[in-house]
Amino acid sequence: MSGAFVPYHQRQNKAVDRHLFVDLLGRLNRRRSISDYTYISFGGAFLEDFKLIHASFGNRDLISLEMDLVAWKRQQFNLPLSCIQCLQRASGDFISNYAVDNNAIVWLDYAAARDTREQFNEFQALLPKLREFDIVKITLNANPATLRASNICDETGKPETMEVLRGRRFAEIQKRIGDFIPQEFNTQSMTEEEYPRLLSKALEVAANDALKGRPDILFQPLMSFAYNDSAHQMFTVSGIVLPKKERVRFIADTGLRKLKLTTLGWGKYRKIKLPALTARERLFIDQNLPKWGAKAIQKRLKFLFDKSELRSLEILKNYIEFYRQYPNFHRVLF
C-alpha cells in the first residue's frame, strides 16, 4: 500500500489527525519557535500538510520526500509554494545521509504494512542524528488483517478459527519486529483495539534502544491516535527529543498536561472515528455545543447514526471530542 496518490485532503479522520498535530506544534511554539524548524515529510501528490504547516507557522524550509517518479513529477505541477523542496528520494536514503543544520520536524508518514521492519529501522536510524527539541511523528499501518487475511481456509477447507487466525497474525508480527515487542503482548493482542498499543510499546523499545548511546536525552511521546484511513486502520505517535533534565520543565511550560488529547506515556492512544455528517446535521450538533452532552444531543436529533443506540452515542461522542478539527469539504469552481 503506497500513500503517494491517496487524496488525504479528502479523508476526514486523516485531516483531523493532521490538524491535531498542528495544534500540538502551536503548543510547543511556547518554548520553541516552530517557524524556524525545517519541515520534512512525505508530501505525496497533493502536499497538503506542507500547505498547512506554512499557513500556520510560516516555515520557509520544507522538504518533501517521494520515491515514486510519477508522484514526484505530479508534485512539481501541484507545487503550492516555492519554498518546498521536492526530492525524489527514499526516506531510508535521506535518513542515512541526514544533514539538517537546524531543528527539524520529521513526519515519517508510512503506509505500507509489509515494510514494518524497515520503517522501525528508519525510525531508529533517525533518532540518534536529531538535535535536542527536534520533533518526530511516525504513522504506521495498524490493521491486523494486513498480517494475515481473515478469509484463509485450513487444510480441511474450513475458514480458520479466530484463535488460529490471531495466532498466525501474531507469529507474523513477531517475525517482522519481534525483538521490539514486549513480553506482555500475545495472540490476544491481534485486535483492532490492542494492535495499536502493541505498536506503541514496540516503538518505545525501539526509541530507547536507538538512544542508548545518548543517555542525556529521551524521545518523549506527546500525542497518539488510531484512525481508519479508507480500509486500513493507522496508528500515529508524535514526540519530541528532550534533554532528560528538562523534561519536567518543558511539559510544564508548554501546558501539555492540561491538553485533553495529550498522551505523554507509551501504550496509550485515542481513537479518531468520525461520522460522515450532512451540513445540516453538523450545524445542528454544533449549535448545541459545548453546553449539551452526547446523550442530550442524540435525543434532540430524534434519529440514530447506527442501528445500535449505544454505537450511535459513541459516534456522537467521538465527533464532540474532535468537532473543532472536523474538516469542511466543499465543491469549488475555479
Domains in the chain: boundaries: 8-272, 279-325
Task: Indicate if the pLDDT at residue 3 is higher than 60.
Answer: no
Kindly report, residue by residue over 58-112, the tens digit of the pLDDT: 999 999 999 999 999 999 998 999 999 999 999 999 999 999 999 999 999 999 9
Count of helix runs (H) and strand runs (E) in the chain = 11, 8
Kindly report, residue by residue over 111-121, the tens digit of the pLDDT: 999 999 999 99
> In angstroms, rounded to a whole number, what is the distance separating the alpha carbons of residues 216 and 261?
28
Q: Are 143 and 112 in contact (CB under 8 A)?
A: no
Q: Are 240 and 233 in contact (CB under 8 A)?
A: no
| 144: preceding bond cis by omega (within 30 degrees) | no
Bridge partners for 235 per DSSP: 140, 226
What is residue 5's predicted lDDT score, i.e. its pLDDT?
39
Q: Are 239 and 221 in contact (CB under 8 A)?
A: yes
Element (H, E) at 279: helix 279-287
What does R_g of the chain's alpha carbons equal in angstroms? 21
Bridge partners for 17 per DSSP: none
Q: What is the pTM of this model?
A: 0.91
Position 324, amino acid: R
Does domain 8-272 correspond to CATH entry 3.30.390.10? no
**Which cell numbers hold the place of 322?**
474532535
